[in-house]
Structure 1
């Protein structure tokens, strides 16, 4: 029987968490890009934006948790990006004609940083 060391388990947990986060960003980006390309409005656009909002609500809560193991400065920077994303989501919801390009660009950068 193979026994895992504690450090191996922690390393795997971090890798799995980043992979799940990357997949969540992939889904958000697919939704945003589809809506943007189609010029979609209504429920499809709202669902894409709501997904991004939900994703960042979860991420911000995790980043603010004192148990989060990321360096404090990185956590603060990511919370700042999350706050910008939430403001942009509000603007996009208020103005259906507003482009989703900024949300796509910023969330692509964050997703790419998870690799």
Structure 2
């Protein structure tokens, strides 16, 4: 079996939770990689310069992911408890606010990573006490 066929079968067998975790992992790794220069920058001009290219794409991907989660959580047929859904939706709006700040040269990318990591752990079944 070719590598691409194997990957296709693997994707088909993944649970939605596993897919979400994989996507969160990829985007968060990109944020960490490309956001390091932004977070180290001392001036607003340097931060805005660091936004060009890969970091900006990672921020867009992260925003899309959180937007999709918000849309899914807003559906009445979503199986999560209403309180948890509301809390995650609230966090998604915080992600939007932080991202807007980043796009204007304020804040840190580490703040978004700090939001994403607990979700990755939760999707992996790791509780806050263990991780």
**Structure 1 position 114 matched with structure 2 position 123:** yes
Q: Which residue of structure 2 aligns with residue 3 of structure 1?
A: none
Q: Residue 54 of structure 1: which of 56, 61, 64 is its match? A: 64
Q: Which residue of structure 1 aligns with residue 46 of structure 2?
A: none
Q: Residue 74 of structure 1: which of 72, 75, 84 is its match? A: 84
Q: Within 1, Cα distance between the matches of 2:37 and 2:104?
A: 19
TM-score (norm 1): 0.81
Alpha carbon RMSD of aligned pairs, Å? 1.4
- Structure 1 unmatched runs, 5+: 1-14
TM-score (norm 2): 0.71
Q: Within 2, Cα distance between the matches of 1:41 and 1:74?
A: 33
Q: Which residue of structure 2 aligns with residue 28 of structure 1?
A: 27
**Structure 1 position 44 matched with structure 2 position 54:** yes
By relative contact order (CA 8 Å, sep 6+), the higher-ranking structure is 1
The answer to whether the 8 A contact 2:98-2:107 is kept is no
Ranges of 4+ aligned residues in structure 1 off by more than 6 Å: none
